[in-house]
């Protein structure tokens, strides 16, 4: 049930596509030609990022999928997200951009246009799109993500956030 958070692949029929070779400057080089067989388009996020994943649904399957024996039921999500972001900003400092967004679940054989970005997920040149796109086999997770992005290459160290007491905004449910 765990997926690769840095890549997302899409598939297409070669007979439905035309390939245009490009030179290093991105200009057409030679005539276009038809693809043969199935095409695989893989979108990669070119940098690491911090991400906090939540579910907008309380589903029994999630406990098994993630090996969990407890969950936090958040009654005041805006307050929780504010505290989460404040905790991250305190540790990360400046230069990071934070994005709280629901995940867009994508059919890799039929990627529809994303209404937010106005283009299919795989065709996006915006690196922000990919951290919020997942294969539709995970749609049952009803995921909401809070991501912190800084478009610089290199690995990131683990961080731990302090949010203070959550008693007034959430309940801890232990199994």
| pLDDT tens, position by position, 2-25 | 567 777 777 777 777 778 899 999
Q: Give the model's pLDDT for residue 73.
A: 96
Q: Give the model's pLDDT for residue 125.
A: 46
Q: Give the model's pLDDT for residue 108.
A: 83
Rounded to the nearest integer, the mean pLDDT of the chain is: 83
Of 168, 149, 152, which is closest to residue 100 (Cα–Cα)?
A: 149
Q: What average pLDDT does range 29-53 have in this prediction?
A: 83
Q: What average pLDDT does range 101-110 have in this prediction?
A: 85
pTM of the model: 0.76
Going by pLDDT thresholds of 50, 70 and 90, the confidence category of residue 30 is very high
Residue 135 has pLDDT above 90, yes or no: no
Query: Both tokens of residue 56?
Result: 């907008």
Residue 118 has pLDDT above 90, yes or no: no
Going by pLDDT thresholds of 50, 70 and 90, the confidence category of residue 62 is very high
Going by pLDDT thresholds of 50, 70 and 90, the confidence category of residue 105 is confident
> At residue 81, what are phi and psi to the nearest 5 degrees?
-65, -35
Q: Give the model's pLDDT for residue 120.
A: 53
- 65-95: per-residue pLDDT in tens? 999 999 999 999 999 999 999 999 999 988 8
Sheet of 97-102: strands edge to edge?
49-55, 143-149, 97-102
> At residue 128, what are phi and psi to the nearest 5 degrees?
-65, -30
């Amino acid at each position: 049930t765990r997926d690769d958070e840095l890549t997302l692949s899409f598939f297409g029929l070669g007979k439905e596509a035309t390939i245009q070779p490009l030179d290093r400057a991105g200009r057409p080089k030679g005539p276009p030609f038809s693809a043969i067989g199935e095409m695989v388009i893989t979108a990669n996020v070119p940098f690491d990022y911090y991400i906090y994943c939540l579910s907008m649904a309380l589903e029994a399957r999630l406990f098994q999928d993630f090996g969990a024996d407890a969950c936090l039921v958040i009654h005041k999500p805006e307050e929780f997200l504010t505290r989460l972001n404040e905790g991250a900003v305190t540790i990360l400092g400046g230069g990071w951009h934070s994005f709280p967004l629901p995940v867009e679940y994508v059919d890799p054989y039929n990627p529809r246009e994303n209404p937010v970005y106005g283009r299919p997920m795989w065709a996006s040149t915006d690196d922000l799109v990919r951290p919020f796109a997942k294969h539709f086999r995970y749609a049952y997770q009803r995921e909401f993500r809070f991501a912190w992005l800084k478009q610089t290459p290199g690995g990131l160290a683990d961080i731990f956030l302090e949010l203070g007491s959550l008693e007034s905004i959430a309940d801890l449910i232990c199994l």
